[in-house]
Structure 1
Amino acid sequence: MKVHPREIYNLLLESSQTTALVEEVIIGLTWTFCRANGIGLCMSPGQATRTLPWSGTLVNQAIADLAPWLYSWDSYQATIAMAAINSVINSNSPLIDKAQPLTPKNSPNLAVFEHFLPLIRGKQVVVIGRYPGLSQYEQDTEISVIERQPSDRDFPDPACEYLLPEADWVFLTATSIVNKTFPRLVELSQNAKLVLMGPTVPWLAELADMGIDYLAGVAVTNAEALRQTIAEGGGTRIFETGVQYRVLELV
């Protein structure tokens, strides 16, 4: 790690400088969609609200005005900012073309775990977040799941201080950037192979300097189907209609 992971917030703002205006924002049940230069995604906040004061005002605002919301502790503001930033970064990043497209045999939303399974068997593996269907891979390897709202199979947030330093592999959701847990989780995972994953991933090579070994983000394969799926409340369904996981090792 050459750069403190807390610098990711400055990196994202510097990497998304543009004069582009927001064309559309959709806050779906699971994903938030922003269209500007391109399409950017971010996982939506888990708790709904009726009182967003800026609803109906985002279209035609400058990305440069919304991007600083990433520093906000308001989860909706930070989510909008991340989706807007990704609409700039991920529409121009050459890394997406370099990354390996994943064509899983099983569930498309679990393609990353299927891809890495030969490497993680017999290893201490920690996954941040309970991914739907992940239990099928817990039978093949020793996986510990840290979850903000844990079930009886999961560990609560504070377990990260104990589990991550001992892990061989860590799969870190890019939503951690938005909820501000990214810097500490990356610090704790420096002894592990660290995979930053999910549709929220910004495709930036500079993340290697912060300790990220692999990016496992998505490429948009059908923009209109993606938009419709998110607008209709889709969660894991987007991997069947509008995006495809890709993996790139950062060197």
Structure 2
Amino acid sequence: MKIHPREIYDLLLEKSSHSNATVQEIILGLTWTFCQAEGIGLCMSPGQPNRTLSWSGTLVGQAVADLASWVRSWDSYQATIGMAVINSVINSTSPLLLQAQRLSSHGSANLAVFEHFLPLIQGKRVVVIGRYPGLSQYEQQADITVLERQPIAQDLPDIACEYLLPEADWVFLTATSIANKTFPRLVELSQQAQLVLMGPTTPWLPELAEMGINYLAGVAITDTNALRQTIAEGGGTRIFDVGVEYCVLKIDN
């Protein structure tokens, strides 16, 4: 039975509700937000800085269940915290990670997903949600259109999704769309495409197949200490070289 993609937030809260853990650490890095609770959870940080977060210094020691509910918030920082907390529960125990194929890369590790799918997407209409650093090398080998909230060069603005996604053969959707609330509509528009949910924010949940996701391309933690330090020191793509490794799993029937 199909689940409407709007139900993603109910699903995430249900799957993390069993945890009795408390938050041990939160790091709001320039690019990534790191949570250590039941395990390690990540979410991409909001793009706009904020100097007036009223809850700063109060999160450690709080129950996972209390902060997980923030994933529903329209405040981008609260939603990011909520998603990272939820991932610390789901991704630390998900059996899907054991089934997933770990990706090695001949180039930039942060682009391993695109390198992996390149043989399948050549000659196809491909839409990528978000400008990934270095992606231009694959734009020369495949028909790729990038949608961005802050478009540069040949990127198209995100509102073009209404026109392009229904006609796409492949869509690569950043899992940060869950935290920023664009996930339900983007998934709805991509139902005719092979849909890859990707990035360190990805929750490893089999139920995502019932929303129309065909592949999960998330990460496995390879070095917690290096990951933590790199995020704390402002690291972006560097986490793929020192702390995480991309993994891919086909989850549709």
Instruction: Sort the TM-score into its range (normalised by shorter chain).
Output: over 0.9
Could you tell me how far 1:157 is from its partner in structure 2? 1.2
Q: Secondary structure at the match of 2:235?
A: coil
Aligned to 2:245: 244
Give unmatched runs, 5+ long, in structure 1: none
Separation in structure 1 between the aligned mates of residue 246 and residue 119 of structure 2, nearest angstrom:
18
Q: Which amino acid aligns with 1:30?
A: T
Q: Secondary structure at the match of 2:134?
A: coil
Aligned to 2:6: 6
Aligned to 1:108: 109
Q: Which amino acid aligns with 2:218?
A: G
Q: Which amino acid aligns with 1:34?
A: C
Aligned to 1:206: 207
Aligned to 1:20: 21
The Cα offsets for residues 146-191 of structure 1, whole Å up to 9 and x where unpaired, read as: 0000012100011000000000000000000000000000000000
- TM-score norm. by structure 1 comes to 0.99
Q: Secondary structure at the match of 2:133?
A: coil
Separation in structure 1 between the aligned mates of residue 89 and residue 198 of structure 2, nearest angstrom:
18
Q: Secondary structure at the match of 2:27?
A: strand
Aligned to 1:64: 65
Could you tell me how far 1:145 is from its partner in structure 2? 0.3
Could you tell me how far 1:33 is from its partner in structure 2? 0.1
Aligned to 2:96: 95
- TM-score norm. by structure 2 comes to 0.99
Separation in structure 1 between the aligned mates of residue 85 and residue 23 of structure 2, nearest angstrom:
8
The Cα offsets for residues 15-54 of structure 1, whole Å up to 9 and x where unpaired, read as: 0011100000000000000000100000000000110000
Q: Secondary structure at the match of 2:218?
A: strand
Separation in structure 2 between the aligned mates of residue 133 and residue 197 of structure 1, nearest angstrom:
16
Separation in structure 2 between the aligned mates of residue 95 and residue 2 of structure 1, nearest angstrom:
20
Aligned to 1:197: 198
Aligned to 2:173: 172
Aligned to 2:158: 157
- Asked if 1:230 corresponds to 2:231, the answer is yes
Give unmatched runs, 5+ long, in structure 2: none
Aligned to 1:37: 38
Separation in structure 1 between the aligned mates of residue 159 and residue 207 of structure 2, nearest angstrom:
28
The Cα offsets for residues 188-238 of structure 1, whole Å up to 9 and x where unpaired, read as: 000000000000000000000000000000000000000000000000000
Identity %: 75
- Asked if 1:117 corresponds to 2:118, the answer is yes
Could you tell me how far 1:114 is from its partner in structure 2? 0.1
Aligned to 1:144: 145
Q: Secondary structure at the match of 1:113?
A: helix
Q: Secondary structure at the match of 1:80?
A: helix
Separation in structure 2 between the aligned mates of residue 14 and residue 74 of structure 1, nearest angstrom:
21
Could you tell me how far 1:122 is from its partner in structure 2? 0.3
Aligned to 2:187: 186
Q: Which amino acid aligns with 2:76?
A: S
**Which segments of structure 1 move beyond 6 Å, counting only runs of 4 or more?**
none
Separation in structure 2 between the aligned mates of residue 246 and residue 157 of structure 1, nearest angstrom:
27
Separation in structure 1 between the aligned mates of residue 127 and residue 36 of structure 2, nearest angstrom:
33
